[in-house]
Structure 1
Amino acid sequence: MIVAITGGKGGVGKSTVALNLAHELDGVVVDGDLTTADLPRGGGPDLHDVLADRADPLEAVDRHGPVRLLPCGRTLSGARAADLSAFPMVVRRLEREYGRVVIDCPAGLARDVGRQLASAHVAVLVATPTEPALADAVRTRRVALDLETPVAAVALNRTAGAVTDGVADRIERTVSAPVLSLEERSVIADAQRQGRPIAAVAPDCPAVDAVCTLARRLERCTTHRDDRIDAHD
């Protein structure tokens, strides 16, 4: 299973969702943002090196606390040397090794995120309950559908409980996918600054249950997909 975490707008919490989902799925998270990486740095080769054919994908996977991570470099020269056309082969290699791969996609639309999004079996849209973020999420859904990557769920980040109830209903009608809310809590921001999953910092935080629910939904989606492929064969 390869999952793309996307949403169009930057700063909505894609990296937070990607890191925590990879931990819940016991997979590997790939920092797919070649120019503005946001996940923790590694101690060895990174995605820039892999896409420039200077390192093997498995060699570049690092451990950051309890999470497996393929980090991305921070240099412009590294981004320029990277051959993004190799990205699908990289994530498929990781899937064969680890079973579950979560891609933290860059902000933006169309070609900025296309290769990463097209490499995934399913996508999760991430947005905050603001009009610009929601509008970008809807646009990203259109891109995903054009690339034949179905949207399995929407993670509505930094919500404030009942204030967001109507927004969630509207998103579900517009996107045709269930919405899971992650309430704004300081412990989530603290965990992300440490580059650690919420479950490792505050296991009783309600966001842990929300991520678990998201993970189970993705597993069901991909199981149904595999069943349809087997029936077709």
Structure 2
Amino acid sequence: MMTLTKYGIREWGVGLVAAVVLLAGCCWLGAAGHPGWGAGVGVVVVVLFLALAAFFRNPSRRLPEDPRQLASPADGVVRDIGEVEDFNFPPFNGRAVRIGIFLSVLNVHVNRTPAELEVESKYYREGEFLDARHPECAVRNEAMTIAGTAKAGDVRFPLAIRQISGKIARKIVCPVDPGRTLRRGEVYGMIKFGSRTELYLPVDRFDIKVGIGDKVRGGETVVAAIRQESAK
């Protein structure tokens, strides 16, 4: 099932009102003896509104059946996978493996939690608006990070998700505060118009199931799984 996210009410709501007004104008053009102009402009208006609405789409997704598997926090393409030596966002403290996902303007832009997550910290970083594919965007761009204790199966571990603005994206939506528990696969926010999402996991406790260049779907594609020795 496809719905529109509530995080885009202002944009697609205003767009709908504008489209209705413009289509009324198209009808007037047709009645005034310019049916070709009226039909042509009407088609353009409808296409533009559908494109706007599509950006705020929120499709239903099927979570991985194995509770020990973590689903992608976003739609897009995996741009990089690497280790971060000193990642300190309580309760995360130390080395982490980072999976970076690039979202184009054509992707679904809502963010989802890879596993059940008790949010313990939230941090906003002011920054630049480099292209989300730029190698320095992860450290220089505006960003929002939430971190906490996650649960996958019977295993608990620190987990963090970072939303990063891009050259076009200028609005991070994250109405989540410490103390809240997010369900596995729950939509918790979005980044508007092109961006990057990063997932941080403990080093040596997960098998990474994706590679650079892989396309992923938020809430559905398995990006990592708890190692058997960690699940014991």
Q: TM-score, normalised to structure 2's length?
A: 0.25
**Structure (1/2) with the larger strand percentage:** 2
More helix by share: 1
Bigger radius of gyration, 1 or 2?
2
Provide the TM-score with structure 1 as the length reference.
Answer: 0.25
